[in-house]
Amino acid sequence: MPSTVLDSDIFRDVFGTAEMRAVFSDDNLLKCYVEAEVALAVAQGRTGVIPQNAADAIAKTAPTVALDRAKLKQEAENIGYPILGLVRQLSAKLGDAGRYIHWGATTQDIMDTATVLQVRAGLAIVERDITAVSAALTKHAEKYRDTPMAGRTHLQQALPITFGYKCAIWLDALDRHAARLRELKPRALVAQLGGAAGTLASLGEKGLDVRSEYARALNLADPPITWHVARDAVVETVNFLGLVTGSLGKIGFDIMLMMATELAEAFEPFAAHRGASSTMPQKRNPISSEILVANAKAVRQHAGLMLDAMIQDFERATGPWHVEWMAVPESFILTAGSLAQAKFMLEGLIVDESRMRRNLDMTQGLIVAEAVMMGLAPHLGRQQAHDVVYDACRTALAQGSSLFDVLKANLAITSALPADRLHALCDPANYLGQAPAMVDAVVRKPRGS
């Protein structure tokens, strides 16, 4: 019976995706276990550790064995791990070749390797979807390169920016995540084979050759040493997912605030009753954004949990390893859910440029007080210019006047700057700094660099 948002018939496609759930499903997990056992037999056949005909039989027959799930569940509950029960069932179906399955390996070898196979498939999905989200952000950065809006700090209007600049900041973060993913793969996609204490003693002098062939059969990297209790690569993977969902959460949080009635600058895609309230017909809630924020918080918790689980005892852990069984699948599923929500939201994002401009003009020029100050500084000195403009801002606020009207009434200011120059300084669209140029730098950067 489904009991969490990740397997709930109601919520599972809100917080995750069917595609990523399939990667971490029991069906695929068992398939990966069998794939690891087959690769081990193939490697041992190639190196002469087991008879070649036995290796061939295992490779041919093991993937076709119909496993008794109920029996496997019962034995896993009793033993604490599923591999012994799996090996028993495979061995019983393989005839004489069954004597050679799981030769010299330990449970963690197979389970770790299966996890790596799942991680490889999961990262492929993440990589693809980061590319899709980046493509959507690239379009917005280009389209709104010069669209002025209020930049906000401490939730107050600060200086003018462009919406394209905001999108380019989001895009640049995803570019860094794409680079991190490429750098992560060689460390994370590594086979595990060490035997009981990691020394490959059960395979004698051919242990390293077997491990090399095992990794080759699985198209994984061959580690220099067993990593049973050196979990940094798995931990790095989940923390990478925490970074991705964190950046997506930042995007969601910004869009959520921009959808607020008082701002109304950008909106998630419209669909009938999407984000509707059960009692307030006017509502249009930021559903995707809310999921992005929630998923980021959940994956962050898993990232911390994984860091804690790095501290393992001696050569095989008594407990911390089990943390990964929970944290890895859930982190991948939540990340896939965030990427899917971000893709949907950004590909259909509705941007109200006129409202951005109205909000930018809301303070009647106060948002460009710095521009006026810097324009006056060469004539009055920086500090005096600051003080004059500061006083003008206070007067404008008290009178409800525009900054320009207050400034043009000040003889010290008008003697330093002509009216047309003063008027230009008070236009927020003229004080965008290098925002458009920075947008160009991000957009023109080859994706994947």
Architecture field, domain 106-190+227-360: Up-down Bundle (1.20)
Q: Which residues are catalytic?
A: 154, 277
Range picked from 5-9, 77-81, 226-230, 360-364 for highest mean pLDDT? 226-230
The partner residues of 266 in beta bridges, in order of sequence, read: 351
Strands 350-351 and 156-162: unpaired
The predicted model scores a pTM of 0.92
**pLDDT confidence tier of residue 151, bands split at 50, 70 and 90:** very high
Looking at domain 16-105+202-216, its CATH superfamily turns out to be: Fumarase/aspartase (N-terminal domain) (1.10.275.10)
**The residue type at 278:** S
pLDDT tens across 160-200, in order?
A: 999 999 999 999 999 999 999 999 999 999 999 999 999 99
| Domain ranges across the chain | 16-105+202-216, 106-190+227-360, 366-425
Architecture field, domain 366-425: Orthogonal Bundle (1.10)
The mean predicted confidence, pLDDT, of the chain is: 92
pLDDT at 202: 94
pLDDT tens across 66-121, in order?
A: 999 999 999 999 988 999 999 999 999 999 999 999 999 999 999 999 999 999 99
Separation CA 89–CA 87 (nearest Å): 5
- 366, 403 Cβ separation under 8 angstroms: yes
